[in-house]
Amino acid sequence: MLKKGAVPALFEWNNYSLPPPRPAVWERRKRPPPEDSEEEDNTTASVDTHKDHDYAASPDPAVVDSVLEENNNLREEVRQLREQVESLTLRQRFGIHRFASSDKDIRFFTRFASYDLLMHFWGMIEPSLPSMVSVRQGQRGTALDSTPSTCTLQPIDEFFMFLNYLALGSKQRDLADRYGVHQSTVSRIITTWSNFLFTVLGSIRIWIPEEHIRKHLPADFKHYPDTTVILDCTELRCQCPSSPLLQSEVFSSYKSHCTLKGLIGIAPHGAVTFISGLYAGSISDKQITRESGLITLLKPGMAVMVDRGFLIDDIVPCKVYRPAFLSGRSQMSAEDVRETQDIARLRVHVERLIRRVKEHKLLDSEIPLGVFGIINQLFTVACLLTNYENGPLVKAWAKKPDI
């Protein structure tokens, strides 16, 4: 009886046989025959060894010295290999130590002229690091907690990251990938360091007394010896807000774009001595001078040097040097032309300083709305850093011993 679906396979013409089954893998593998003599010799030697071994016997001193020397050599080799691995990892990791040997790279990534200059600045702010309050500590209300941070980056690498963000205008996602941290960590580091540097550098008095300015007055200002500060405004392009009311406030007719406007003042020898907060781009130069608090620093014996658009004669208590207007005349006098040229030649230094500030690419690109919470700190820190990053605005002034 055949099962349903079965097909006969054995017939008289095929000898009623099936092919033999294929042997398994273990059966197909050839193995050498056991060597009884070697096994017996090994067994005998093992027995003899166990019989001859004396655990109570003291080792030979020469053997001990040889083993100790070998261990010391291995330890030294391990230490050297570990140092090489750490050095290689340090060179591959993105951080300040990777570019320590190249002043050109330091200039590109931080705007500091050299590594030594950057380290000198780091030595100045490092003692204040214990008083730094991170964003996370501020949110938790644990500003006085001395618990170390769980961030994997060293403080100097966090500082280097902040300088990358300011100098290159790098995106936070790009910095997170470079430094191997989460994007939210990058955001917290940037906010923490912007507030920290704003506090530390802002605590240093930058307004120079009148007598010190006259003592170090460059020879180019001999016709304007009472000049205390050179003023100019700068505008930062920003992302347009969605609200029509806010758009009208930040829209600048001069730039034909939404901007934030700030006032910068420098001493005649080129140091930044005044920085205002940022205002909406529609504000006038006169209004920003009034609201910035600069007027309280000026005295009757001083003088300010401004551009032609600064009509501040009626709000400041001192003299104002400004290029002459035609004032309805068809042609300016020769004296007015010479004065205009002299003032323009001296006032150009504040424009060079503003150019240095905008070499921090974050301020030279369109500022996103998400940065508005710390943009005042970033702008102030960028302006103050120009006093530490570079040499004098005019190289000839540095050659004079009294400058």
pLDDT digits (tens, 9 = 90+) for 316-352: 999 999 987 766 566 777 887 888 888 988 988 999 9
- Indicate if 169 and 230 belong to the same structural domain: no
> What is the model's pLDDT at position 60?
72
**Where does a domain end: 169, 202, 235?**
202
- Indicate if 177 and 246 belong to the same structural domain: no
Per-residue model confidence as pLDDT tens digits over 83-119: 776 665 555 568 888 888 899 999 999 999 999 999 9
Which residue reads 């001069």 in tokens?
254
**For the chain, percent of residues with pLDDT exceeding 70:** 82
Question: Please, what is the average pLDDT of the chain?
Answer: 84
**Per-residue confidence at 187, pLDDT binned at 50, 70, 90?**
very high
Per-residue model confidence as pLDDT tens digits over 199-227: 999 999 999 999 999 888 888 898 999 99
Q: Is residue 401 predicted with pLDDT exceeding 50?
A: no
CA distances (Å), origin 365, targets 167, 188, 253, 276: 11, 22, 18, 20
- Indicate if 230 and 191 belong to the same structural domain: no
Give domain status of residue 80, yes or no.
Answer: no
Query: Is residue 181 a contact partner of residue 153, using CB atoms and an 8 Å limit?
Result: yes
Q: Report the number of distinct structural domains present in the chain.
A: 2
- Indicate if 242 and 374 belong to the same structural domain: yes
Q: Tell me which of 150 and 159 has the higher pLDDT.
A: 159
- Indicate if 154 and 274 belong to the same structural domain: no
Burial class from Cβ neighbours inside 10 Å (0-12, 13-18, 19+) for residue 129 reads middle
Global pTM value: 0.74
- Indicate if 194 and 226 belong to the same structural domain: no
Query: How big, in percent rounded to 5, are the helix, strand and coil portions of the chain?
Result: 50, 10, 40
Q: Is residue 247 predicted with pLDDT exceeding 70?
A: yes
Main-chain dihedrals φ then ψ at residue 252, nearest 5 degrees = -105, 125
Give domain status of residue 72, yes or no.
Answer: no
> What is the model's pLDDT at position 402?
44
Give domain status of residue 83, yes or no.
Answer: no
Question: Can you tell me the distance from the alpha carbon of 310 to that of 400, in angstroms, rounded to the nearest whole number?
Answer: 32
- Indicate if 226 and 375 belong to the same structural domain: yes
Query: Is residue 117 a contact partner of residue 177, using CB atoms and an 8 Å limit?
Result: no
Per-residue model confidence as pLDDT tens digits over 270-314: 899 999 999 999 999 999 999 999 999 999 999 999 998 888 999
Amino acid at the residue 96: I
Beta-bridge mates of residue 232 = 264
> What is the model's pLDDT at position 150?
47
Is the four-CA dihedral 89, 92, 96, 99 of positive or negative sign?
A: positive
- Indicate if 261 and 381 belong to the same structural domain: yes
- Indicate if 189 and 317 belong to the same structural domain: no
Q: Which domain holds residue 173?
A: 96-202
Question: Can you tell me the distance from the alpha carbon of 165 to that of 276, in angstroms, rounded to the nearest whole number?
Answer: 22
Question: Can you tell me the distance from the alpha carbon of 122 to that of 34, in angstroms, rounded to the nearest whole number?
Answer: 75
Give domain status of residue 294, yes or no.
Answer: yes
Per-residue model confidence as pLDDT tens digits over 65-87: 788 888 888 888 888 888 776 66
CA distances (Å), origin 79, targets 72, 75, 82, 97: 11, 6, 5, 21
Those residues whose C-beta lies under 8 Å from the C-beta of residue 138, and which sit 6 or more positions away, are none
| Tokens encoding 95 | 């951080």
Question: Can you tell me the distance from the alpha carbon of 220 to that of 323, in angstroms, rounded to the nearest whole number?
Answer: 17
Q: Is residue 397 predicted with pLDDT exceeding 90?
A: no
**Where does a domain end: 168, 202, 236?**
202
Q: Tell me which of 93 and 52 has the higher pLDDT.
A: 93
Question: Can you tell me the distance from the alpha carbon of 191 to that of 134, in angstroms, rounded to the nearest whole number?
Answer: 8
Give domain status of residue 114, yes or no.
Answer: yes
Give domain status of residue 391, yes or no.
Answer: yes
Other CB atoms within 10 A of residue 32 CB: 5
DSSP helix/strand/coil, 72: helix
Q: Is residue 374 predicted with pLDDT exceeding 90?
A: yes
Give domain status of residue 101, yes or no.
Answer: yes
- Indicate if 198 and 216 belong to the same structural domain: no
DSSP helix/strand/coil, 92: helix
Query: Is residue 276 a contact partner of residue 257, using CB atoms and an 8 Å limit?
Result: no
Q: Got the DSSP string for 324-362?
A: PP-TT-SS--HHHHHHHHHHHHHHHHHHHHHHHHTTSHH
Helix 183-202 and helix 155-168: axis angle, to 10°? Answer: 90
- Indicate if 193 and 216 belong to the same structural domain: no
Q: What mean pLDDT comes out for the span 23-50?
A: 59
Q: Tell me which of 399 and 12 has the higher pLDDT.
A: 12
Beta-bridge mates of residue 319 = 303
Question: Can you tell me the distance from the alpha carbon of 156 to that of 159, in angstroms, rounded to the nearest whole number?
Answer: 5
Q: Tell me which of 365 and 38 has the higher pLDDT.
A: 365
| Tokens encoding 32 | 């050498």
> What is the model's pLDDT at position 268?
92
**Where does a domain end: 150, 183, 202?**
202
- Indicate if 171 and 216 belong to the same structural domain: no
DSSP helix/strand/coil, 377: helix
Give domain status of residue 40, yes or no.
Answer: no
* CATH code of residue 307: 3.30.420
